[in-house]
Structure 1
Amino acid sequence: MSSDETHDDPQLHAINRLTQEVERLNTHRFVTMYNSRWRLIAFSLFRGLAFGLGSVLGATILVSILGWWIAQFEFIPIIGDWAARLVQEIESAQ
């Protein structure tokens, strides 16, 4: 096959482009990370630590806002007393 036939054949052109894309993807940082077991373990460890820290901080902020919001309902006897004790416990822990 001559070079003119290669340029004219759309299937060969598509295969060449696909080959170039696969080569480009194989050198991508995310793919090369999976080539090394230790890098994958380190990435998973740090990802898990970040997820855990984010979950704890998010839950802390959410519970504190929710506790403050519930403490505003002092006119409801059961919730008001419970919320007042909750706020008192939080303030005494600090």
Structure 2
Amino acid sequence: MKNDGDAPQSPLAEELHALRAEVAQLNAHRFVRIHNSIPRLLMFNLARGLAFGLGTVLGASVLLSLVAWALSQVEFLPIIGEWVSEILRQIEASVE
């Protein structure tokens, strides 16, 4: 069916036009452009992996240091205090 300019389009033709516009918009999206190229996809995943690894290491370091500090504050508990004191002595010995 040919469109003469002013003639109304059929609902199917309108839907097809809208669908083509959506597909064009999706193809222009950055996510799709990154995944269209193997080297770009590899670099993107490498950067994502590096960021994830760095965040994991930094987060674990902060969390463990806070836990060790909190445990060092409870030396007055009989069993936990001795255990924490022994851990602190071993950490200090390994640092020196």
Q: Alpha-carbon deviation of 1:90?
A: 4.3
1:5 is aligned to 2:18: no
Q: Alpha-carbon deviation of 1:89?
A: 4.3
Of stretches 28-37 and 10-19 in structure 1, the one that deviates more from structure 2 is 10-19
Q: Contact 1:68/1:87 (CA < 8 Å) preserved in 2?
A: no
Letter in 2 for 1:18: L
Moved over 6 A (4+): none
After TM superposition, the score normalised by the length of structure 1 is 0.81
2:88 equivalent in structure 1 = 87
After TM superposition, the score normalised by the length of structure 2 is 0.80
1:36 equivalent in structure 2 = 37
Q: Contact 1:67/1:86 (CA < 8 Å) preserved in 2?
A: no
Structure with the bigger percentage of helix: 1
2:52 equivalent in structure 1 = 51
Letter in 2 for 1:46: A
Taking a change above 3 Å as real, the CA distance of residues 91 and 10 of structure 1, as seen in their structure-2 partners, is farther
How many Å separate the matches in 1 of 2:28 and 2:73? 57
Which stretches in structure 1 are left out of the alignment for 5+ residues?
Answer: none
Aligned alpha-carbon RMSD (Å): 2.0
Identity within the alignment, %: 46
Q: Relative contact order (C-alpha < 8 Å, sep 6+): which is higher?
A: 1
1:24 is aligned to 2:63: no
Letter in 2 for 1:59: A
